[in-house]
Amino acid sequence: MGLMSSDDRAVAVIMVGGPTKGTRFRPLSLNIPKPLFPLAGQPMVHHPISACKRIPNLAQIYLVGFYEQREFALYVSSISNELKVPVKYLKEDKPHGSAGGLYKFRDLIMEDNPSHIFLLNCDVCCSFPLPEMLDAHKRYGGMGTILVIKVSPESADQFGELVADPDTNELLHYTEKPETFVSDRINCGVYVFTPEIFTAIQGVSAQRKDRANLRRLSSFEALQSESATRSLPADFVRLDQDILSPFAGKKQLYTYETMDFWEQIKTPGMSLKCSGLYLSLFRHISPHLLNQGDGTKSATVIGDVYIHPSAKVHPTAKIGPNVSISVNARIGAGARLINCIILDDVEIKENAVVIHSILGWKCSIGRWSRVQAEGDHKAKLGVTILGEAVNVEDEVVVINCIVLPNKTLNVSVQQEIIL
């Protein structure tokens, strides 16, 4: 391509997953695909999408997953109009692995003849420093660059641990969820590749087919060193085990370290923490999205708070820090909200208190009631979650609970899952 960068073009692919059976995101995912669950007042997938908008010469954004087309149709058309970038949803027919899924749609992805392909996971929460990654990637001159972050050694083994050259940032070694401590640098699930990635994925598939043929010709099972891959179909290619590990140390893959925040959004409790992280990011990059208020004309606001313009909040209510309030919510006089997500059409009556909680669509919280939790985002009942249309009557206290949709609570409860 030479030094002329006018022919540089980028495409972004965001993996959104699917409605898998063992979802840890219930009861909230009963109503809405997880990628559309609002964090800081915007659908989860909106955060990586709006970060992609900052990539120079971005031609197209693809969302790839297992949800039905109709579940994303409305969102995809509205976000395309809002950002003035074409966003399309592509449904996978069956699991192909993260790299295999990319390969499945290679013709569409390569249609705009991009020089760079970004690959992002929807369920990670970070500042998505994509233009900076791209600059580093061009300097390195490899096939791919991986966003990494330094974590505490105790928590590193839950993720893909990697070792990079401290001077060149080349990826030297990659292990997915290792048994023993490898490194305190982990893979953030955000990448930029050159189109060579498709040749690499194709190579893995070809190798699989060759091995399968060898096995048919010979009963000598010892040829197959990695028994785990024996049963994998040729077109099922995992990014971490099949691409990152084998290409490490070959001057093909490099790392870019984020100094900001990073979390995985696996559970409703973590979504509350991530909502707060995105609100604090807004404070830096889009402060106009946050609300102000001192209790004179509008409610008192403390810290980072998002209130949808259609919500009605009484001026004597006190809101924040880390609160987001969705469409048509009604917050009564003297209510106190701290560290919570309030979804569409929720009503919180006079003097109710909501702390460390997520209130599902159309919930109603009675006068002088309290809905609260300890606020431990990782504990099973560390954040109180009310499913859709839960009705908490007047003067009822709900502590550290998960409540399934359409329940009425007329007595106080704590440390319970209410089915």
Least Cα distance to 49 among 80, 19, 74, 73 occurs for 80
Predicted model pTM? 0.91
| CA–CA dist 227, 330 (Å, integer) | 58
H-type alpha helices, 53-178: 69-83, 97-104, 106-109, 130-140
Domains recognised in the chain with CATH numbers = 10-222+229-264 (3.90.550.10), 279-414 (2.160.10.10)
Beta strands in 245-329 (DSSP E): 253-257, 262-264, 300-301, 305-307, 312-313, 318-319, 323-325
Question: Tens-of-pLDDT digits for all 419 residues of the chain?
Answer: 444 455 689 999 999 998 874 467 788 878 889 999 999 999 999 999 999 999 999 999 999 999 999 999 999 999 999 999 999 999 999 889 889 999 999 999 999 999 999 999 999 999 999 999 999 999 999 999 999 999 887 777 777 789 999 999 999 999 877 677 778 899 999 999 999 999 999 999 888 888 777 776 665 554 555 454 556 788 899 999 999 999 999 999 999 999 999 999 988 899 999 999 999 999 998 898 899 988 888 999 999 999 999 999 999 999 999 999 999 999 999 999 999 999 999 999 999 999 999 999 999 999 999 999 999 988 889 999 999 999 999 999 999 999 999 999 999 999 999 98
**Residue recorded with tokens 């950002």:** 83
Phi/psi at 331 (5° precision): -115, 120
Question: What is the CA 183 to chain-centroid distance, rounded?
Answer: 23
CA 341, 39, 69, 328 torsion: positive or negative?
A: positive
| CA–CA dist 247, 197 (Å, integer) | 11
The residue type at 214: L
